[in-house]
Amino acid sequence: MTAWWHNALIYQVYPRSFNDSNGDGLGDLPGITAKLDYIADLGADAVWISPFFASPQKDFGYDVSDYRAIHPDYGTMADFDALLEACHARGLKLMIDVVASHCSDQHAWFQESSQSRDNPKADWFVWVDPKPDGTAPTNWLSFFGGQAWSWEPRRQQYYLHNFLKEQPNLNYANPDVVEAMLDVARFWFDKGVDGFRLDAIHTMKADRELIDNLPVEDFVLGEMPQDKQPFFRQRHDTGQLNQPAIQNFTQRLRALADTYGDRYLMGEVHGEDYMAVSDTFTQPGRLHATYNFGLLSWHGLTPDEIGEALGQAHRHFGASQRLTFALSNHDVPRSVSRMALANKVALEDQADLQVMLTQMQTALFSSNCLYQGEELGFEDSDQLAREDLQDPWGIEFYPAFMGRDTCRTPMAWQSTADNGGFSTGKPWLPINGRHQAKAADTQVGRQGSIFERTKAHLAWRKLQPALLEGDFDMMEGPEGTLVFKRGCAKQTLICAFNFNASAVTVEGQTVAPYGAAFIEAA
């Protein structure tokens, strides 16, 4: 029997920006429930919701202070239960974002652990003595800037945080921590949650080794601030990230998930050799799949670069279900903006480009994640002022880098309503005016809109054996195109995607500018 996640379209909801039900300017769980018919109508198979747990919101939910509680901004546990029931009533699976590698410094576990070296939670986090000269124990750096170590005067020790200092790393070398997180997983599985997206699981600290990161010897200064900050001048797989001991936890979690029958585990991982890292995390008895970063380049990708990324993925994994593809998420600029920049696509052609990108993504092997607003053609927001910024990463590196708020602005549901119909109150981030002009109410049911063209493709896709079970082979195509073949015993399709401003011919068929063609082959 085919697992539900095989070839699934997973619709990602960033809850703070999706739909506000109570007028406080923040999206919430009842707001998501109110829009489930919209998601189901589009043709999604599952919904993945970014964190809504109790949290000080230093990193907007990715700093959890209680894994079994709902942040009041998002609602109550009763609201979550109602959302889960409503998803299942519509045939939608529900996945939640579990931040297992670290928690908030406001979590009761860390509050107790930080008091002394001999309390019951003393070894639940990564505490290390300073070097003889008082400096941090290693040269590890935080992704968000500065050292990955902060000093706790009560313990006279440093603690590890791969992100903000308010996000201390849990110590998975301690069996009690492993059991505690497995108990969290049981709690949500028992409720009926269908799967987890495991945030930054490669950043877990699961052994007690302290090895300095080596430098990136061939480092080249890039255009974006991420490529300029010191973090990217180190090889993190040397000692800081992707430690083999992490797999002790993935195996335990998979064994637990399997007792529930059909639960899905998708891990966010990264590393210097990304494909090797993904392979390690998805070996038998570990995670079902990893979230593939190959198509999420901050600068966008040309057809040749996309083909290279897909070819690499296929060489490592075949047409298996061990990768989940995405073109956008809450951490990178929106796909149409990135790809338009990389391929010099004019503004008037970007609606066609967006539809074509979704058609391309969903023609690939394995499951796919579609970020909220992609089905409406939302571009990255360039209308944020300095005082609008909320993302700690952007605030830290402004003005060189605006952070991730540009892809997190709220959904626009109504073209003429205040705040795009997202909220009756002031939204936490400004509504993008261009988004409001193409809000959902201007597209749903309107023939030829981005939404309806996307919906039609997704419905057609579910009827194509080649796209659901076929193998994958890259093909040569005209300049500025991406062409590949999906084939099985029942059907063979040549899938052609034209990134040019003029039509091209593939296998005797005309492919429109910024269009796609699916050609039946013998």
Q: Which residues are the active-site residues? A: 199, 268
Give the separation between CA 480 and CA 229, rounded to whole angstroms: 33
Residue with tokens 């991420």, as numbered in its chain = 226
Helix axes 77-89, 175-191, angle to 10 degrees: 60
Query: Which residues are within 8 A (CB) of 209 and not within 5 positions of it... i.e. 6 or more apart?
Result: 239, 243
User: Positive or negative CA dihedral for 58, 60, 65, 69?
Assistant: positive
Neighbours of 331 (CB within 10 A): 16
List the structure tokens of 89.
């009533």
Q: 104: helix, coil or strand?
A: coil
C-beta of residue 486 within 8 angstroms of C-beta of residue 495: yes
CB-side exposure of 448: number of CA atoms within 13 Å? 0
Give CA–CA dist 449/355, Å, rounded. 9
For residue 270, is it left (φ>0), alpha (ψ between -120 and 50) or beta?
Answer: beta
Q: Cβ neighbours of residue 287 under 8 Å, at least 6 residues apart?
A: 198, 201, 250, 253, 254, 265, 266, 267, 281
Round to whole Å and give the CA distance between 359 and 324: 15
DSSP 412-478: ---SSSGGGGS-SS--SSPPPHHHHHT-HHHHTT-TTSHHHHHHHHHHHHTT-HHHHH-EEEEE--S
C-alpha 269 chain-centroid distance: 10
- Distance between CA atoms of residues 501 and 513, nearest Å: 5
DSSP symbol at 500: S
Residue type, 267: G
Distance in angstroms (rounded) separating the CA atoms of residues 517 and 476:
15
Which residue intervals of 365-449 are DSSP H helices? 392-397, 433-437, 440-443
Q: Are 406 and 4 in contact (CB under 8 A)?
A: no
User: How many whole angstroms separate alpha carbon 200 and alpha carbon 102?
Assistant: 9
Q: How far is CA 274 from the centre of its chain?
A: 15
Instruction: Find out whether 130 and 157 touch, Cβ atoms under 8 Å.
Output: yes
